[in-house]
């Protein structure tokens, strides 16, 4: 699919993004001590298929066995929901949602804190969200992908955290993963120049320790090599004629800072 989306594509993806964000709103009250990540998957699957009438994009995608990704504590991304993984007091969890509506993908994720979390866990989740917002603030026609990565990397490292190198954001549309790749580190003024009509995700994975990761034997679950905590937030963005539109906004978010983005 072309890097530049048509008006019809954008309209469809705006709806897919809205629905993906709605799943996160639905699942939030269910995230509590004692629930299994498999039960979260079951609830989200039923909501997507029976209430929204959408297809859960992860299910059977290159063999992925579930409808959502649930990444707890030191799991960086692509955590597989299981009956054995019960949420505990102090856990942090990323829930990653991708829906398919009329062929188009909507992709977003959010961190949730389970009960009373440590100062480190709370700070990591906050900084990871700030990294996402700083990346979004760079998006406008004429900017470069490297500007996004530089803003994220600079903030994370200033807070003594690290940015995962092995996984990145991506173009999206009729395909789940399209060009371009959106790195969360880099140098300003480098990489592809952004143009109106491009749609991609920014989804920085920020680690409390080293940025090195390890892929588990299931060929999906990615963990921090040093077992330190990891946090990730994700939005799907449209490059507009004058800046950026967040296609997966949630009601608790305030994007007024984008009006004054440089």
Q: How far apart are the first and last CA of the chain?
A: 30
* pLDDT for residue 2: 76
Average pLDDT (155-164) is 98
Is a pLDDT exceeding 70 seen at residue 120? yes
Which residues fall within 8 angstroms of residue 14, CB to CB, at 6 or more apart?
238, 247
The token pair that represents 195 in the structure block: 């143009």
As a whole-number percent, the residues of the chain with pLDDT over 90 amount to 97
* pLDDT for residue 1: 57
Sheet containing 213-215, strands listed edge to edge, beginning at the edge strand earlier in sequence:
75-77, 222-224, 213-215
| CATH match for 7-248 among 3.40.50.300, 3.20.20.70, 3.90.230.10, 3.40.50.80 | 3.90.230.10
Dist CA 147 CA 114 (whole Å): 33
Work out whether strand 169-171 and strand 178-182 pair parallel, antiparallel, or are unpaired: antiparallel
Global pTM? 0.97
Is a pLDDT exceeding 70 seen at residue 173? yes
Residues 20-35: b if buried by 16+ CB within 10 A, e if exposed: bbbbbebbeeebeeee
The 10s digit of each residue's pLDDT in 188-238 is: 999 999 999 999 999 999 999 999 999 999 999 999 999 999 999 999 999
Average pLDDT (107-120) is 98
The 10s digit of each residue's pLDDT in 62-85 is: 999 999 999 999 999 999 999 999
Domain spans, the chain: 7-248
pLDDT-based confidence at residue 130 (cuts at 50, 70, 90): very high
* pLDDT for residue 261: 63
Is a pLDDT exceeding 70 seen at residue 181? yes
The 10s digit of each residue's pLDDT in 23-39 is: 999 999 999 999 999 99
* pLDDT for residue 260: 67
Is a pLDDT exceeding 80 seen at residue 160? yes
* pLDDT for residue 259: 78
């Amino acid at each position: 699919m072309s890097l530049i989306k048509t008006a019809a594509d954008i309209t469809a993806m705006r709806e897919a993004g809205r629905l993906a964000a709605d799943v996160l709103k639905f699942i939030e009250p269910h995230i509590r001590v004692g629930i299994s990540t498999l039960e979260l998957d079951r609830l989200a699957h039923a909501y997507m298929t029976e209430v929204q009438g959408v297809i859960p994009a992860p299910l059977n995608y290159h063999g992925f066995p579930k409808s959502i990704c649930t990444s707890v504590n030191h799991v960086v991304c692509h955590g597989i929901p299981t009956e054995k993984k019960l949420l505990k007091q102090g856990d942090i969890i990323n829930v990653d949602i991708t829906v398919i509506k009329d062929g188009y993908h909507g992709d977003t994720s959010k961190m949730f804190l389970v009960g009373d979390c440590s100062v480190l866990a709370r700070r990591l989740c906050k900084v990871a969200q700030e990294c996402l917002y700083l990346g979004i603030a760079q998006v406008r026609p004429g900017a470069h992908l490297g500007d996004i990565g530089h803003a994220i990397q600079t903030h994370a490292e200033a807070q003594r955290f690290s940015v995962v190198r092995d996984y990145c954001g991506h173009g999206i549309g009729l395909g789940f993963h399209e060009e371009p790749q959106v790195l969360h580190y880099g140098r300003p003024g480098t990489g592809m120049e952004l143009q109106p009509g491009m749609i991609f995700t920014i989804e920085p994975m920020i680690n409390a320790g080293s940025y090195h990761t390890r892929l588990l034997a299931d060929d999906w679950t990615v963990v921090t090599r040093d077992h330190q905590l990891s946090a990730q937030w994700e939005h799907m963005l449209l490059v507009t004629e004058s800046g950026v539109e967040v296609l997966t906004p949630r009601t608790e978010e305030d994007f007024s800072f984008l009006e004054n983005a440089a």
